[in-house]
Chains A and B, each alone.
Chain A
Amino acid sequence: MKMTNTKIALLVGLGLLAPLVIYPVFLMKVLCFALFACAFNLLLGFTGLLSFGHAAFLGTGGYVTGYLMINTGLTPELGILCGTLAAGVVGAVYGKLAVKREGIYFAMVTLALAQLLFFVYLQAPFTGGEDGLQGVPRGFLFGLIDLTDNTYLYYVVYAIFLFGFWLVYRTVHSPFGQILKAIRENEPRAISLGYNVSQYKWVAFVISAALAGLAGSTKTLVFQLASLNDVHWHLSGEVVLMTLLGGMGTIAGPLVGAGVVVTIQNYLSGGELGNYVSIIMGVIFIICVLLFRNGIVGELQRLIKRNFS
């Protein structure tokens, strides 16, 4: 599916007008998770690596941003930058260790490392343990724009999301992205063509981790809170669900998946079915895996292909 300029302009415009109709904080939550899922999709969908510890990067970004903004009075853009860098550094270390293994072992290594970090954040005094970092100031963007206003903040978050989305899009559609796809499709062949596969995997891992950190930093700014839930393995599982549901290996899939999952969680948690959120999510996951394995966007693309070309 080729994106034409009109289509892109239309979608971007839709995002600009959205806060007039929908509650901005909810939209920001969707955008943060969409960015997180996009980052994850770069690894799972385009490189074929299932990381089961991506929450560690989201959480690291969140904690670093939160801590710096509370204690040093950094401006939000610098806080987010530091959070993203920190997640990138953690990603670089974890990636180095994890790419040595493949398949289920890769997933287990990432999960183990993420649990390690979870325990550190649980015990380290600077994270506030179970309480998390509370009351993170939103501050003034570039020292000028007051982000306590939800509408202003929405546009900042939207810009960050577009940047992340564009970065993933560019990565996937670059020669580098082609090699990643080659690794996904047939790793031994990529090796035989002379590519240093683990180096490519590692770079993809670091980009993905940094983007997840960017999502976490932004989320901290939105909710003024960094908590243990951001590093919990539940969240690592949730991002897998978002990506699979939306359509793994499609550009727009994670965005759709994150939108669906966050919407379900938000609307169910307030109602009668509040206690059944995890069961409903589980059923959706099973249905998705059994009936439409390409995810929402993947199936739509197939339908369009079948009917119009």
Chain B
Amino acid sequence: MKAIKKTLLCTGIAAAMTVSAAQAAGISDDKVKIGVLADMGGVYADICGEGCVTAVQMAVEDFGGTVLGKPIEIVSADDQNKPDVGSSIVRKWIDNEQVDTVTGLVASSVTGAVAKVLTDSKKIALISTSASHAFTTKACSPYNVQWTYNVVALANGTVKPMVGAGKWRWFFITADYAFGHALESVATEVVNSNGGEVLGAVRAPLGTTDFSSYVLQAQSSGADVIALANAGTDFTNSLKTAAEFGLTQTADVAGLLVFTSNAQALDPEIAGGMKLTTGFYWDMDEQTREWSKRFKERHGAIPAMGQAGAYSMTMHYLKAVEAAGTDDSDTVIRKMKEMKPDDFFARNATLRNDGRMVHDMYQVRIKRADERANPDDIFAIENVISGEEAFGPMLAECDFK
């Protein structure tokens, strides 16, 4: 036992020495390691999952596989949408596997826990798919970077123009957990501040399959707009039920968070014509089509906005590492905020000091069956909203310089 202890001590000292030597040279541990944490098999697997891993791999390959002469490595893991699983994986990555930054990050509950762990260890969280705006407001940190969208942008993008078009009276069907509550409260604010009125809201538990009673309540409220403050299968189920009850004929149904895969899964007869807000659409122009085609060849499906975001933010991170000449988080994050992100995803973009990447958002309409040229032809872009308008101002207490 004594001998083992001695060897361990020696390796420990040796390891400590290599770390300090490498830091002086710029890149710690002679590599840049990116962790991809996402739900790989659960309800959110389609919107990030393996696709996010593919996107990050593409970013690393497109970057050339090395930065400052050192290799870039990727590790990935399944957080099972559980905050405790996610945070213990990330803790292990940082303590034992020299991970420099973590991306992916889907369920807001997992992201919240993981971002805290990362901030404690001074590592950067590259949040690609989480919706909550807490990471750049009440839970903001100098090491948080949120790229694709957030609930504020969704509410501003979808709710504001509808209220403006004379749809005054709103009713919410809300997923009964933190994300749904946040979305509902942000959207309610937007409705009220634009002169509209919220008639009521009904809370449905996550994973509800029978939405009929909720839809009937919504119907009897007499609202102009029924807003679905939910996501994933909750969204598709509630919309299907609304269509069965004829609600889509008498009122407008607004999906507040809709991913391309959700829209693709729905019957165009039901979903066609619905307006929503997204941070990315694959068929927007030449640049997005070129990247999305490459992505589809590897992944087998068109990219969701979070997957495109994961590519874009990984690329920006690597560029910042190269420009900074080090992978030291404090230096890199400053560089990331100095440099303007600009690629097929990030249009008219800046990374604000609070970690919010502000970029163009798109108001789209789900195409009807007769408009669709192929199964991937889902959205028609109706309007581009500037980042400032969508994401709103930065909080003074989150202005990390």
Query: Which one, A17, A135, A148, A229, contacts B84 given CB within 8 A?
Result: A229
Please give, as numbers and ranges, the residues of chain A lying within 8 Å of B48 by CB-CB distance: none
B112 & A134 in contact (Cβ 8 Å cutoff): yes
CB–CB A224/B178 < 8 A? no
Return chain B residues, CB-CB under 8 Å to A23: 92, 95-96
Q: A21-B8, A129-B177, A227-B109 are in contact. Are A270 and B89 (CB under 8 A)?
A: yes
Say yes or no: A223-B87 contact (C-beta < 8 A), given A130-B178, A132-B113, A134-B112: yes
A217 to B177, CA, bound (A): 24
- Identify 10 new A-B residue pairs, CB closer than 8 A, beyond the known A130-B177, A132-B83: A23-B92, A26-B92, A131-B108, A223-B84, A230-B84, A269-B85, A270-B77, A274-B40, A274-B41, A274-B77
Per-residue interface assignment for chain B, residues 86 to 106, with 1 indicating a CB less than 8 Å from any chain A CB and 0 otherwise: 011101100110000000000
CB neighbours of B139 from chain A (8 A): 134
Instruction: Indicate whether B179 reaches chain A with its CB closer than 8 angstroms.
Output: yes
CB pair B88 A25 closer than 8 Å: yes
CA distance A280 to B1 in the complex (A): 35
A29 close to B (CB within 8 Å): yes
- A275 interface hit (Cβ, 8 Å): yes
Using Cβ atoms and an 8 Å threshold, which residues of chain B touch A229? Answer: 82-84
| A131 and B109 form a contact (CB under 8 A) | yes
Residues of B within 8 A of A223 (CB): 84, 87-88, 91
- Interface CB pairs A-B, < 8 A, 25: A21-B4, A23-B92, A23-B95, A25-B92, A29-B88, A122-B177, A129-B181, A130-B107, A130-B108, A130-B109, A131-B109, A131-B178, A132-B83, A134-B83, A134-B116, A134-B139, A135-B113, A223-B88, A225-B83, A225-B84, A227-B109, A229-B84, A269-B77, A269-B85, A269-B89
Q: Restricting to A21-40, which residues have a CB under 8 Å from any CB of B?
A: 21, 23, 25-26, 29
Q: Does A128 count as interface, using CB distance less than 8 angstroms?
A: yes
Chain A positions within 8 Å of B113 at CB level: 131-132, 134-135, 225, 227
B377 within 8 A of A: no
Known: A20-B8, A134-B113. A25 touches B83 (CB 8 A): no
A293 CB to nearest chain B CB (Å): 30
Residue B117 at the chain A interface, CB threshold 8 Å: yes
Number of interface residues of A (CB under 8 A): 27
Are B83's CB and A131's CB within 8 A?
Answer: yes
Contact at A275–B40, with CB atoms within 8 Å? yes
User: Is B112 touching A25 in the complex (CB atoms < 8 A)?
Assistant: no
**B5 interface residue per 8 A CB criterion:** yes
The contact of A132 among B88, B92, B109, by CB within 8 Å, is: B109
Closest 7 CB pairs of A and B: A130-B177, A135-B116, A275-B41, A131-B109, A274-B78, A130-B178, A129-B178
Complex Cα spacing A135 to B82, Å:
15
Give which listed residue, A21, A26, A131, contacts B112 with CB less than 8 A: A131
Write out the residue numbers on chain A whose beta carbons fall within 8 Å of the beta carbon of B82: 227, 229
A150 at the interface (CB under 8 A from B): yes
CB-based contact A20/B5 at 8 Å: yes
| Chain A residue contacts of B40, Cβ below 8 A | 274-275
How far apart are A220's CB and chain B's nearest CB, in angstroms? Answer: 10
Q: How far, in whole Å, are A129 and B77 apart by their CA atoms in the complex?
A: 24
Cβ distance A28 to chain B, nearest Cβ, rounded Å: 10
**How many angstroms from the CA of A202 to the CA of B5 in the assembled complex?**
47
| In contact, A225 and B1 (Cβ under 8 angstroms) | no
> Which of chain B's residues have a CB closer than 8 A to the CB of A230?
84
Contact A224 B92 (CB under 8 A): no
> Chain B residues with Cβ under 8 A from A130's Cβ?
107-109, 177-179, 206
Q: Please name all residues of chain B whose beta carbon is closer than 8 Å to the beta carbon of A20 when the two chains form the complex.
A: 4-5, 8
Hey, what's the 0/1 contact readout for A123-166 against B, CB within 8 Å counting as 1? Answer: 00000111110110000000000001010000000000000000
Minimum CB distance partner of A227 in chain B: B83
Report Cα–Cα, A14/B5, bound state, in Å. Answer: 13
Q: How far is the CA of A150 from the CA of B91 in the complex (A)?
A: 11
- Whether A224 contacts B108 by the Cβ 8 Å rule is no
Closest to B85 in A: A269
Report the nearest A residue to B205, measured CB to CB: A122
- Could you tell me the distance between the alpha carbons of A130 and B1 in the complex, rounded to whole angstroms? 45
CB-based nearest A residue for B40: A274
B260 at the interface (CB under 8 A from A): no
Given the known interface contacts A134-B113, A135-B116, A275-B40, the answer about A224 and B80 at a Cβ–Cβ threshold of 8 Å is: no
Chain B residues contacting A25 (CB-CB under 8 Å) are 88, 91-92, 95
Q: Mark A256-300, 1 if CB is under 8 A from B, else 0.
A: 000000000000011000110000000000000000000000000
Binary B-proximity of A223-237 (CB < 8 A = 1, otherwise 0): 111010110000000
Q: Are A224 and B8 in contact (CB under 8 A)?
A: no
In the complex, chain B residues whose CB is within 8 Å of the CB of A134: 83, 112-113, 116, 139
Q: Which residue on chain A has the smallest CB distance to residue B9?
A: A20
Residues of chain B contacted by A150 (CB below 8 angstroms): 95
Complexed CA–CA distance, A131 and B206 (Å): 14
Q: How far apart sit A223 and B82, CA to CA, in the bound complex (Å)?
A: 12
Q: How far is the CA of A224 from the CA of B88 in the complex (A)?
A: 10
Report the minimum CB–CB distance from B232 to chain A (whole Å): 14
Contact with A along B129-142 (1 / 0, CB 8 A): 00000000001000
> In the bound complex, what is the Cα–Cα distance between A239 and B109 (angstroms)?
24
A194 CB, min distance to chain B CBs, angstroms: 47
Task: Report the bound CA distance from A229 to B81 in whole Å.
Answer: 10
Residues on A with beta carbons closer than 8 Å to the beta carbon of B109: 130-132, 227
Bound CA span A21–B5, Å = 9
Which residues of A, 9-60, contact B by the 8 Å Cβ criterion? 17, 20-21, 23, 25-26, 29
A37 and B84 CA atoms in complex are apart in Å by: 19
Q: How far is the CB of A292 from chain B (nearest CB, A)?
A: 29
Which B residue sits closest to A136, measured CB to CB?
B116
Which chain B positions have C-beta within 8 A of A269?
77-78, 80, 85, 89
**CB-defined contacts of A17 to chain B, threshold 8 Å:** 1, 5
Interface string of B1-24 (1 = CB under 8 A from A): 100110010000000000000000
Q: How far is the CB of A278 from chain B (nearest CB, A)?
A: 10
Task: With CB as the reference atom, state the residue of chain A lying closest to B76.
Answer: A270
Contact partners of A29 in chain B: CB under 8 A: 88
